């Protein structure tokens, strides 16, 4: 078990040369305590020793703010060890590699393509559902093709995750699936996913029940009253239009089962006041909007901005490989231009999609998270910012060539 080291602002930072003797002493005491208590060998703490330290860039924090003067330590196993004050790093230490980022660059978690089709090219299988009204066995991951070349192409644009869901043709449409964007013979699945549900016109059919909204709402009420296992944890609910969301909010959701709302067609008729009340009562509500595209619905854009201003935590829907490669950052930039808070917009790009997907250990630069990182030449919200470097599980890949020699990072071993 590693001792993950974190720092608190306001304390006087020590260099690693000063800090390691103290850590060694503590480690000896902790190990000795474990021996005395009969602690198994596998549980004995070890001294923190990163393989790589990324420094020189500002960092997108989990709350969506950007702060300078931080360094990120990455372990050999591809996880983040710690977020450290940059001035505490001894760059002459030969025990780890130093990656010095270009001046003005920003280090962020990977972008996340939600509800798109990225990673499904050329593989037999289908994301289609609806043959069974309540299909709890369908796994969207069955349609994932890890050899899809678009996965590496997406990574070059900073998109490191793809979450697949089945089409919302039934009440329950199986589980979502989240994968690392890496073209390879072997898939890296990052989450088993959440139950994908739907309430709206997409569920209606002429050859089976339900054939009307009235019967659909009745089916939903009866299903919730039966206390199904599928509602033991929050799922994902497709409610495209304002009336769909209003009807969903009228249901008696069990404690702890409020779903993530996919509200891709919302406008001025969306019941944002009900979402705000729900958030005050149950905690922050998660909602997926968009994609927000140039020339798209202004009403949907303004609905998303108002929802964010009222405390709803947003994520931007994906659209790869059909949509433009920069569609996620484009959605965020449009939302900010229309009045969305910049920190909220960054959460919508990075940390919130991981919560939507039920994927733990991604979407945040924090101790214990995967080292899936993207180095941008500036704020990711700036459409002019370029992807400079990408790490997947700690493995680095250069993307953009530096424009000057001074902008090249230095790696010391």
Domain assignment of residue 46, yes or no: yes
Same domain, 149 and 282: yes
This prediction has a pTM of: 0.84
- CATH for 285: 3.20.20.140
Contact between 328 and 316 under an 8 Å Cβ cutoff? The reply is yes
Q: What is the pLDDT of residue 246?
A: 96
Query: What confidence tier does 280 reach under pLDDT thresholds 50, 70, 90?
Result: confident
One domain for residues 151 and 89: no
CATH of the domain at 98: 2.30.40.10
- Whole-number Cα distances in Å, 26 to 32, 37, 73, 84, 378: 10, 16, 20, 19, 39
| Residues 163, 309 share a domain | yes
Please indicate, yes or no, whether residues 105 and 115 belong to a single structural domain of this protein. no
Check residue 130 and give its pLDDT: 56
Q: Give 343 or 36, the one with higher predicted confidence.
A: 343
Domain that holds residue 74: 16-109+372-412
Assign residue 362 a region: left if phi > 0, alpha if psi is -120 to 50, beta otherwise? beta
Q: Give the model's pLDDT for residue 335.
A: 97
Using the predicted structure, report yes or no on whether residue 408 has a pLDDT greater than 50: no
Summarize the confidence of residues 2-27 as an average pLDDT.
36
pLDDT, average across residues 226-253 = 95
Judge if 217 and 151 occupy the same domain.
yes
- The answer as to whether 363 is a domain residue is no
Residues 51 and 120 in one domain: no
pLDDT of 413 higher than 80 = no
Q: Is residue 47 part of a domain?
A: yes
For 106-145, give one letter per residue: b (16+ CB within 10 A) or e: bbbbbbbbbbbbbbbeeeeeebebbebbebeebbbbbbbb
The per-residue pLDDT for 88 is: 87
Least confident of 82-96, 325-339, 397-411: 397-411
Q: Higher confidence at residue 368 or residue 402?
A: 368
* Residue 345 sits in the same domain as residue 274: yes
Q: Above 50 in pLDDT, residue 295?
A: yes
Residue 296 lies in a domain: yes
Q: Is residue 365 part of a domain?
A: no
Does residue 10 belong to any structural domain of this protein?
A: no
Please report, rounded to a whole number, the percentage of residues in the chain having pLDDT higher than 70: 82
Query: pLDDT tens across 23-60, in order?
Result: 333 433 333 334 333 433 333 333 445 789 999 999 99
Q: Provide the pairing of β-strand 195-198 with 80-85.
A: unpaired
Q: Which two tokens stand for residue 226?
A: 């039966």
Whether the pLDDT of residue 401 is over 50: the answer is yes
- Same domain? For 330 and 393 the reply is no
* Average model confidence (pLDDT) across the chain: 84
Which runs of E-coded beta strand occur in 65-115? Answer: 66-67, 70-74, 80-85, 97-100, 106-109, 111-114
pLDDT at 392: 97
Render pLDDT for 261-271 as a digit per residue (tens, 0 to 9).
999 998 889 99
Provide the domain count of the chain. Answer: 2
Looking at residue 405, its pLDDT comes to 35
| Position 180 in a domain | yes
Specify whether 287 is located in the same domain as 386: no
Tens of pLDDT, residues 177-198: 999 999 999 999 998 889 999 9
- The pLDDT of residue 129 is 56
User: 269 and 385: one domain?
Assistant: no
Residue 29 lies in a domain: yes
Helix axes 327-337, 342-349, angle to 10 degrees: 160
For residues 311 and 203, membership in a common domain is answered with yes
Amino acid 160: pLDDT: 98
Same domain, 386 and 339: no
Q: What is the mean pLDDT of residues 77-89?
A: 91
């Amino acid at each position: 078990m590693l001792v993950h080291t974190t720092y608190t602002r306001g304390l006087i930072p020590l260099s690693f040369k000063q800090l390691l003797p103290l850590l060694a002493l503590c480690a000896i005491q902790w190990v000795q305590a474990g021996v005395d208590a009969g602690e198994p060998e596998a549980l004995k703490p070890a001294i923190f020793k990163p393989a790589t330290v990324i420094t020189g860039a500002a960092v997108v924090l989990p709350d969506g703010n950007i702060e300078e003067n931080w360094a990120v330590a990455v372990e050999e196993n591809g996880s983040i060890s710690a977020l450290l004050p940059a001035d505490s790093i001894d760059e002459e230490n030969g025990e780890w590699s130093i990656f010095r980022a270009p001046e003005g660059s920003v280090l962020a978690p990977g972008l996340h393509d939600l509800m798109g089709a990225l990673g499904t090219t050329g593989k037999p299988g289908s994301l289609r559902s609806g043959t069974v009204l309540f299909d709890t066995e369908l796994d969207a991951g069955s349609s994932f093709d890890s050899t899809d070349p678009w996965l590496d192409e997406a990574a070059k644009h900073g998109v490191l995750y793809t979450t697949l869901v089945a089409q919302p043709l039934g009440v329950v449409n199986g589980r979502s699936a989240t994968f690392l964007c890496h073209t390879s013979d072997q898939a890296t699945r990052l989450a088993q996913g959440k139950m994908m549900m739907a309430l709206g016109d997409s569920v209606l059919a002429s050859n089976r029940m339900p054939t009307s909204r009235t019967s659909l709402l009745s089916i939903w009420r009866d299903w919730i009253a039966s206390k199904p296992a599928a509602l033991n944890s929050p799922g994902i609910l497709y409610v495209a239009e304002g009336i769909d969301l209003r009807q969903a909010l009228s249901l008696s959701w069990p404690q702890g089962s409020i779903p993530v709302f996919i509200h891709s067609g919302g406008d001025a008729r969306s019941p944002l006041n009900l979402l705000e009340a729900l958030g005050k009562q149950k905690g922050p509500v998660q909602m997926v909007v968009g994609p927000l595209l140039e020339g798209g619905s202004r009403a949907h854009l303004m609905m998303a901005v108002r929802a964010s201003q009222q405390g709803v935590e947003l994520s931007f829907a994906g659209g790869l490989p059909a949509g433009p490669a920069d569609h996620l950052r484009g959605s965020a930039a449009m939302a900010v231009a229309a009045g969305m808070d910049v920190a909220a917009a960054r959460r919508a790009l990075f940390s919130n999609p991981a919560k939507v997907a039920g994927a733990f250990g991604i979407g945040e630069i924090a101790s214990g998270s995967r080292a899936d990182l993207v180095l941008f030449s500036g704020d990711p919200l700036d459409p002019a910012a370029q992807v400079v470097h990408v790490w997947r599980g700690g493995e680095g890949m250069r993307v953009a060539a530096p424009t000057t020699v001074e902008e090249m990072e230095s790696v010391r071993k």
